[in-house]
Amino acid sequence: MSSQPNQKHNWGLWAVVAVAVVALLAVLGYGVKTYLELESLLDTKDAGNLPESYESMEAEGGVDLSTVQEKDVYTILVAVTDEGVQEEERDGANTDVLMYIRLDNKNHKMNILQIPRDTYVGDISVDCGTYHRINGAYSNGENKENPIANTATAIYELLGLKADNYAVMDVEGFRTMLNTMGGIWMHIPRDLYDKETGKLMFEAGDKKINGDTAEVILRNRATTLGDYERLELQQSFYAAVFRTFMEQYPIGDALQVAKNTAVYLKTDFSVPDLVGVYLALKELKPEDIYVVRCSGGPVNVEGTNGKMAALYGVEKENTARILNEHFRPEGVVVTEDQLGLPDIEFELGYNVDEGKYLSDVQTAEIKD
């Protein structure tokens, strides 16, 4: 195996993988009938397949990233699309949440890279739409039969990261998952206000959220740092989901969530694949799960329509360092100049995220 976010909507989706894999314990207990039920629901659907190969990309020492293989490591591309959102007309789906996950089975660690949906891609081979935003790769790329391949190729060209497998879910699947669960307790790290009216929507603190509430919270755009702060809010969501499923959720209920949600899930995982992921995940504790946002800041970009848009520029130096330390095989080093990220002058400055472990993310007290 290799080593390796529609303007208004953002949802955390490590939960998608968590729902599927945790339910596998029930598969092991419920036997062949349940296995066949889940197997029939798991399918790539219209997301298609990941690329069969990648263009050569050189790392230090002449290492070709396109050929790098690694044992005992799962690399997973996870996305939430805005399919099903009815507030705006659009030609195709955007990936409003993007994450690259590296699950190291041998060393019992999982690293999660949060890629801002408004990331400016610059001049790469994948058409990412009018404003050159990474969330447009899915539907604008030339590979119409395999839109997930467009997104995977864009991430590879920008960051030098390949994915072994993927999981994509749309908005309705996200709502169904949380509503079937009966909601989860989440810690909201700061007061959240409506961007248009300035009205206080949610006070900082612990709150039980369902699918609809989570949608309002996680898409909140009344922030001074845009995508960067929204990704921090998503981290609180990840911690809540992990704690709920891995520590509190009854297995029979997890199975029901998996079966209700699988119809909305597009993935190239089979049930046997997920058994392997589950066996790796069940060894993890919150202190084993590292989450980091791509460092960067705001950049104004002119679209193909001649209009300007505020996007997120990824800063090269610190991004290269974080990727080398946490998302590549030992000994594989990619310098900032070898990344495919565009050169950006950050006139308003940029933020550097060193990442954190889920054990350092405050979680809510579960009250029921």
Between CA 276 and CA 273 the distance in angstroms is 5
Contact by Cβ (8 Å): 258, 23 = yes
Check whether domain 14-360 has CATH 3.40.630.190, yes or no:
yes
Predicted local confidence at residue 327, as pLDDT? 98
> pLDDT by residue (tens digit) across 179-207?
888 888 899 888 888 878 888 988 999 99
pLDDT greater than 50 at residue 18: no
> pLDDT by residue (tens digit) across 55-106?
999 999 999 999 999 999 999 999 988 765 544 444 568 888 899 999 999 8
Predicted local confidence at residue 284, as pLDDT? 86
308-314 and 296-302 as β-strands: parallel, antiparallel, unpaired? antiparallel
Predicted local confidence at residue 249, as pLDDT? 58
Predicted local confidence at residue 205, as pLDDT? 92
Say whether 318 sits in a helix, a strand or coil: helix
Domain ranges of the chain: 14-360
> pLDDT by residue (tens digit) across 27-53?
333 444 556 666 777 889 999 999 999
- Half-sphere exposure for 169 (CA within 13 Å, toward CB): 29
